[in-house]
Amino acid sequence: MTRPLIAILLVLPLLILPLCAHSQAIPFDQKGPVASLTESAVYDFNDAQYGHNRSLWGWSAVPEVNLTRHLGMEGDFASLYMQSVYPGQSRFLMAAGPRYTFAPRSRVTPFLFAEGGEMRLSAQKSLVKDWNPIGKGGFGFEYRVSRGVALTLVPGEYLGQYQDDGSWNHNFTTRAGLTWNLYR
């Protein structure tokens, strides 16, 4: 690992600890949020596409609307890119689907989700942009720092991409970010 990455990983918990300590003293509403917006950093491991294992980094924005106490609908907009090898690659993803929240009123909230959508693939020095259908699903956790803010971790997410030749490309993704909760 590089020194800047190690420094970030060491400093990040020091920045989060005061928020967590402060949040223990803040009571929050006993009803779950009506809607939320999650902004995340994303890491994607692509298993052997074109004969090579590829790692992509990027961002995602996930709006969610809760229909009932446990069931909601979410959309996923993500941009992934890799420029460390030639030719570099970028992906734009749009997907939507249901989300099931297990404990919407607790400070630590586990959830499951499944989505379907489209992914646009593009590469450096190429004008071709290919759209492929995708299916994805996974699990994650939210830790409420305060009534309106939560830390979100999705340690396990599978992303399957249906390719033009009829085969499936398998990706494994993880993400971490902030969630902004909206209440009535």
Give the integer Cα–Cα distance in Å for 137 and 100: 11
Please report, for the domain that includes residue 51, its CATH number: 2.40.160.20
How many domains, in total, are found in the chain? 1
pTM: 0.76
Candidates 52, 36, 35, 53; CA nearest to 44 is 53
Measured CA to CA, the distance from residue 80 to residue 93 in angstroms comes to: 8
Question: Is 25 part of any domain?
Answer: no
Is residue 6 in a domain?
no
Give the model confidence (pLDDT) of 57-115 as tens digits: 999 999 999 998 889 999 999 999 886 666 677 889 999 999 999 987 788 999 999 99
Q: Which secondary-structure segment (H or E) carries 169?
A: strand 168-182
The reply to whether 73 falls in a domain is yes
